[in-house]
Amino acid sequence: MADKMSLNQKIEKLDTEVEWFYSDDFKLDEATDKYRKAVSLAKEIEEDLSKLKNEIEVLAEDFTK
């Protein structure tokens, strides 16, 4: 599911997931599952950013030639 989201959408979703921990909706019995989902999403975002950085570096190198 998260793979089809844009980077901005993933970041917004992660923000929402993190906000839940500070909300009145917080339930300790749900926290572990929510935490795992948030960590997984954060890893996806990190991978996306790494790919984007690599693309930018390649483009920048092409322009310096």
pLDDT in tens, 33-62: 999 999 999 999 999 999 999 999 888 887
Work out whether the CA dihedral 49, 55, 59, 60 comes out positive or negative: positive
Calculate the average pLDDT of the chain: 91
Work out whether the CA dihedral 4, 47, 22, 29 comes out positive or negative: positive
CA atoms lying within 13 Å on the CB side of residue 7: 9
Query: Does the pLDDT of residue 3 top 60, yes or no?
Result: no
pTM, full prediction: 0.79
